[in-house]
Amino acid sequence: MNTADLSLPVDVPSTALFTDQYELTMLRAALAAGTAERRSVFEVFTRRLPDGRRYGVVGGTGRVLDAVENFHFDTAVLDFLREREIVDEQTLEWLAGYRFRGDIWGYPEGEVYFPGSPIMRVEGTFAECVLLETVILSILNHDSAIAAAASRMAAAAGDRPLIEMGARRTHELAAVAASRAAYVGGFATTSDLAAGFRYGIPTVGTSAHAFTLLHDSERDAFRAQVDTLGGGTTLLVDTYDVAEAVRTAVEVAGTELGAVRIDSGDLLLVAHRVRQQLDELGATGTKIVVTSDLDEYAIASLAAAPVDAYGVGTQLVTGSGHPTSSMVYKLVARAESADPKAPLVPVAKKSSGGKTSIGGRKWAARRPDSYGVAEAEVIGTGPVPAALADRQLLVELVKGGEVVAREPLDAARERHTRARAGLPMSATQLSRGEPVLPTEYLHETPGS
């Protein structure tokens, strides 16, 4: 079940101060200069993928839509800005009536992306678009990093389910966002109840070592858990001696015991020994869940082990070494005047150090080879070639300030599965390498 399907009310506070001060000072200066109402196009993209990554995963789009809807300046926020003298009265008056009324296009959530991909395009007046820079980047950079790590772990796990259990390793609110992004990337469940409540993600959990240590014996702890939760529960078997714990677990719960969890030691060796012991005791259907600081490499190393599920925490919620996606939000086109009919002209930053950008409102398409497998990410300005017309990646998310593309979280999760399957097989290799697809640019020529 997904809360989005049920239209359950979820109170989200104003996101107006999830921003950097320079966005408001730019607004103030642009209002004074008479340029604030110029029609503008901003794009979100990344110049490179994290080192060694073959593809990126778009995560957080749904949260961006919520943030844009809730971006408004109430009395308390305006009073704060006035007291700090961050903006003048003219700007405060303008902010009091702020609502984003422009358009947003973007790669749908769960889609994959590559260097230069126009992941999100925000169009409207300069004033209304510039204010959204930080909140959009904050969400997309975090959630896309988690979704990419989750995708790599899901690819390594194959058909074995993954449990997200990283809430205790990150900020309490980031934990909910991380759980959501992990679900998009391929995780099956979460231990975080706030994520289950907010987004309808299936939740799981049984007991920790503290529960075993609370009781006078491991047998007493197992008996208490089984009596309360039933024989289908998962018993933690590495508090003391694993072999003895497995024997006790089967004696207490019977051969229909749901699962045992291993949280320490040489997981490959211990999993084999536990599987053999379970089978010898007649608990052939009892599953083995492993946890303990797993990442995609550790999961891949356990591919040949008799493991049925993985629980992942720290490495997932920190992006498995890459906690941000390094996305930027850049102005790529603007009108020469405030006249709504004034044509857009491309603009771009030119600087050394690899921080250049490409001007112009862009489209993106993924070109397949003769086998239907993606072979290039094609990005262009101007008309879309007929051969790529039905391969375009950007979809309309917001039209005239109204969200038009809200969807259940399961839709994004399923989309990612399809998108990853459409990439070359080398996309899921964990060895270091370049992006699995090259990025090609098609520029509109003058007079075309």
CATH code, 160: 3.20.20.70
Calpha distance 46→117 (Å, rounded): 7
- 304 shares its domain with 253: yes
Q: What is the pTM of this model?
A: 0.93
- 207 shares its domain with 258: yes
- 312 shares its domain with 349: no
* % of the chain beyond a pLDDT of 70: 95
How much is the mean pLDDT over the chain?
94
pLDDT at 4: 47
Final residue before a domain boundary, out of 282, 304, 321 = 321
- 317 shares its domain with 332: no
Supply 302's token pair. 């356990």
- 293 shares its domain with 153: yes
- 96 shares its domain with 52: yes
pLDDT at 444: 67
287 and 278 Cβ atoms separated by less than 8 Å:
no
DSSP for 285-302? T-EEEE-SS--HHHHHHT
Q: How many domains does the chain have?
A: 2
Which whole number is the average pLDDT over 264-287?
Answer: 98
- 386 shares its domain with 429: yes
35 and 126 Cβ atoms separated by less than 8 Å:
yes
Residue tagged 């094609």 (tokens): 378
Q: Is the pLDDT of residue 328 over 70?
A: yes
| Chain-centre distance for alpha carbon 227 | 38
- 314 shares its domain with 355: no
Residue 141 lies in a domain: no
Residue tagged 């290039």 (tokens): 376
pLDDT in tens, 44-102: 999 999 998 999 999 999 999 999 999 999 999 999 999 999 999 999 999 999 999 99
Strand runs (DSSP E) across 219-276, as ranges? Answer: 234-236, 259-262
- 179 shares its domain with 309: yes
Q: Is the pLDDT of residue 2 over 90?
A: no
Q: Is the pLDDT of residue 11 over 80?
A: no
- 37 shares its domain with 92: yes
Which whole number is the average pLDDT over 181-208?
Answer: 97
Question: If you count them, how many residues does the chain have?
Answer: 448
Q: Is the pLDDT of residue 10 over 50?
A: no
Residue 415 φ then ψ, to 5°: -60, -40
Residue 2 lies in a domain: no
Residue 8 lies in a domain: no
Q: Is the pLDDT of residue 12 over 60?
A: no
Confidence class of residue 3 from pLDDT cuts 50, 70 and 90? very low
Residue 159 lies in a domain: yes
pLDDT at 351: 72
Residue 139 lies in a domain: no
pLDDT at 7: 46
Residue 447 lies in a domain: no
Nearest to 236 by CA among 255, 215, 253, 259: 259
Q: Is the pLDDT of residue 443 over 90?
A: no
pLDDT in tens, 341-368: 999 999 998 876 667 789 999 999 999 9
Final residue before a domain boundary, out of 264, 296, 321 = 321
Final residue before a domain boundary, out of 301, 321, 341 = 321
Residue 300 lies in a domain: yes
Residue 57 lies in a domain: yes
- 30 shares its domain with 90: yes
pLDDT in tens, 139-180: 999 999 999 999 999 999 999 999 999 999 999 999 999 999
Quick one: CA torsion of 369, 110, 182, 274, rounded to 10 degrees?
Answer: -40
pLDDT at 355: 74
Which whole number is the average pLDDT over 418-433?
Answer: 94
- 375 shares its domain with 307: no
At residue 20's C-alpha, the angle toward residues 15 and 26, to 5°, is 110
Residue 289's domain comprises 147-321
* % of the chain beyond a pLDDT of 90: 92
Confidence class of residue 433 from pLDDT cuts 50, 70 and 90? confident
